[in-house]
Amino acid sequence: MTTTTQHASAKQPPLHIRALRRTFRGLPPKLHDIAYEPGLVVPAADGSALLTDHYFPLAEGDFPTLLVRSPYGRGFPWAPMYGVLFAEQGFHVVLQSCRGTGGSGGTFDLWRHEAADGRATVDWLRRQPWFTGALGTIGASYLGYVQWALAADPPPELRAMVIQVGLHDLHGYFHPGGAFALERTLATSMGMVHQHRGMPRFLQAALRLQRHFRTITRTLPLGTAYVSGLGGRVPFLEEAMAHPEPEDTHWHGADLGSVAENLRVPTSLITGWHDVALDQTLQQYDRLRRAGCDRSLLVGPWTHNSAMQQGWPEVFAESLGWLRAHLCDDPSGLRTTKARVHVAGRQAWQDLPDWPPATTAHHWYLDGDGTLLPRMPENAPAPVSFRYDPADPTPSVGGPLLSGKAGYQDNTALEARDDVLTFTTAPLTEPVHLLGPVGVELRVTTDTGHTDVFARLCDVDDRGRSTNVCDGLRRLRPGPTAATTGAAPAAVTVPMSSAAYSFPAGHRIRLQVSGGAHPRFARNTGTGEPPATATRLLPAEVSLHHPSRLVLPVAGEEFTDANGADGANPER
């Protein structure tokens, strides 16, 4: 039985945490008053002290336990969002600082200790009188990664996981498409180095990075340029830059994607269409689906950050319903379908039996005059080219960013640049509904062999405003994927993430092709030098040859049934 007398060290959560809790809107009413025990010491297998806070309901009865492990400290935002809110709904919440952070002993080392430290924490839970043996995990971003680490050898008590905007592959996070993800890597590193030290130091660090950001992104070599913005050297960041290849032994054990292939723990996945973890989340879902694992997917009109801010009412409801169903035998909060996605263009939520649903691949061919044609041109158009100059890199506008203006943005000014090619359909005579992965199949030559190809799908409205839908980048190197000028073009496929999007009649579909999106991705210097040590800049001429085509997953008329419900407007 859980009573206040069993927790002699219990106290009310700090005043500022209680004040922050009152700022949340659109949440269910609390069921219990709560208390917490701060600074409990959980021994890791090697003896390191893992500092842990325990939140719990002030009520008699047996309550399941949620484990939250974080390298970002145990205060804001995790204390109010997880510790307080879920304890009020009838859960013990164990909120722990990963080793080397938030006062925990040992040295923080990306991914290498998470599985062992998670198992040690479950061993500690088994010795607590209030632990019933019903365990769930929850958390966002890297807090999702540690869940996959625990699930690699899941303890028998683990009955449910909720992974919010979470990742499983750290190499893929640092080097998506083969390019170094500069903007999000700097933001992530700043958070990991400073957030666990308290909010004042975190805010100071964020302001310092903001002041130095432009200088960092324009200075070579990157391996030393970042130091001024982060207040010192960051070993895991330098190691990530120094090891760009996924096969490098440095990354051994960093990709936990295979965990989902044999998992039997019911898992809820939550992401947004402009989340930096979208692609990895959908990969996780696909593997769970193939494994026959009980699963759920929610994709909202969110970025990585806004999912846990503006999207929190939907995210909290989804998470709470999943945890109650699998830890409390209360399925009343579950929907009847496995997937629920927000459809931009319609501004509606759509329930789907699974993801991705059945669609038909529609091909739109790139013509030499900048049009997209619904069928292959009868006469092969001449190649079209652009010059990418890393000294004046093509900027990033919107999309999955951690800082700045993320999400849906006006791309009109970007498309006016000489280094951005656009291909546009005629005005649509009827709506086109996308549901699933988008891609482009190009035939490419380049004069240097070293270049990036950035492709983006946009919606052009009747006023000419071009809004990004989804995109992707692929780094090319000399060899089969990067034919040089004069040789036969190389076939290059650029995955452009997935989308749930309705293009209204009268709008136009547009494809952008360019040589980068800076500083979202570190610019391709054109020399083939490693990103950490490159010091020279070499422009590249990139040509697109026939046949090149955009591939869209188009849903049938059944998509427009009454299944969709009004939802939040996308962030524009």
What's the CA gap between 48 and 41, in Å, rounded?
A: 9
User: What's the mean pLDDT in 149-173?
Assistant: 98
Asked if residue 361 has pLDDT above 80, the reply is yes
Q: How many helices (H) and strands (E) does the chain have?
A: 14, 22
In this prediction, residue 15 carries a pLDDT of: 79
**What is the band of 556 on the pLDDT scale with cuts at 50, 70, 90?**
confident
Residues 47 and 108 in one domain: yes
- Residues near 116 by Cβ (< 8 Å), separated by ≥ 6? 44, 45
Residues 159 and 105 in one domain: no
In this prediction, residue 559 carries a pLDDT of: 67
Residues 375 and 297 in one domain: no
Last residue of a domain, one of 215, 250, 285: 250
In this prediction, residue 303 carries a pLDDT of: 97
Query: Percentage of residues in the chain with pLDDT exceeding 70?
Result: 95
Has this prediction a pTM greater than 0.85? yes
**What is the band of 481 on the pLDDT scale with cuts at 50, 70, 90?**
low
Cα separations (Å) of 119 from 83, 161, 229, 392? 20, 15, 36, 49
Q: Which of 10-19, 23-32, 559-568 has the lowest mean pLDDT?
A: 559-568
In this prediction, residue 22 carries a pLDDT of: 78
What's the CA gap between 47 and 520, in Å, rounded?
A: 40
Residues 459 and 490 in one domain: yes
In a domain, 105, yes or no: yes
**What is the band of 483 on the pLDDT scale with cuts at 50, 70, 90?**
low
- Residues near 170 by Cβ (< 8 Å), separated by ≥ 6? 110, 111, 145, 240, 251, 254, 255
Q: What CATH number does the domain containing 418 carry?
A: 2.60.120.260
What's the CA gap between 124 and 542, in Å, rounded?
A: 58
Q: Is 125 helix (H, G, I), strand (E, B) or coil?
A: helix
In a domain, 568, yes or no: no
Residues 185 and 220 in one domain: yes
**What is the band of 14 on the pLDDT scale with cuts at 50, 70, 90?**
confident
Could you give the number of structural domains in the chain?
Answer: 4
Last residue of a domain, one of 250, 276, 294: 250
Contact 511, 440 (CB under 8 A): yes
Residues 368 and 517 in one domain: yes
What's the CA gap between 297 and 279, in Å, rounded?
A: 13
In tens, the pLDDT along 53-100 reads: 999 999 999 999 999 999 999 999 999 999 999 999 999 999 999 999
In this prediction, residue 380 carries a pLDDT of: 85
Residues 17 and 46 in one domain: yes
Contact 76, 103 (CB under 8 A): no
Residue predicted with more confidence, 19 or 420: 420
In this prediction, residue 482 carries a pLDDT of: 64
In a domain, 541, yes or no: yes
**What is the band of 19 on the pLDDT scale with cuts at 50, 70, 90?**
confident
In a domain, 366, yes or no: yes
> For residue 198, how far is the Cα from the chain centroid?
24
In this prediction, residue 115 carries a pLDDT of: 98
In a domain, 99, yes or no: yes
Last residue of a domain, one of 327, 355, 383: 355
**What is the band of 567 on the pLDDT scale with cuts at 50, 70, 90?**
very low
Q: What CATH number does the domain containing 296 carry?
A: 3.40.50.1820
Residues 409 and 537 in one domain: yes
Asked if residue 564 has pLDDT above 80, the reply is no
In a domain, 572, yes or no: no
The residue among 474, 309, 312, 466 whose CA lies nearest residue 402 is 309
Residues 211 and 263 in one domain: no
Q: Which of 34-38, 240-244, 557-561 has the lowest mean pLDDT?
A: 557-561
In a domain, 564, yes or no: no
What's the CA gap between 298 and 281, in Å, rounded?
A: 10
Residues 409 and 535 in one domain: yes
Q: Which domain holds residue 270?
A: 134-169+256-355
**What is the band of 566 on the pLDDT scale with cuts at 50, 70, 90?**
very low
In a domain, 84, yes or no: yes
Residues 33 and 103 in one domain: yes
Residue predicted with more confidence, 570 or 47: 47
Asked if residue 325 has pLDDT above 50, the reply is yes
Asked if residue 239 has pLDDT above 80, the reply is yes
Residues 196 and 109 in one domain: no
> For residue 372, how far is the Cα from the chain centroid?
30
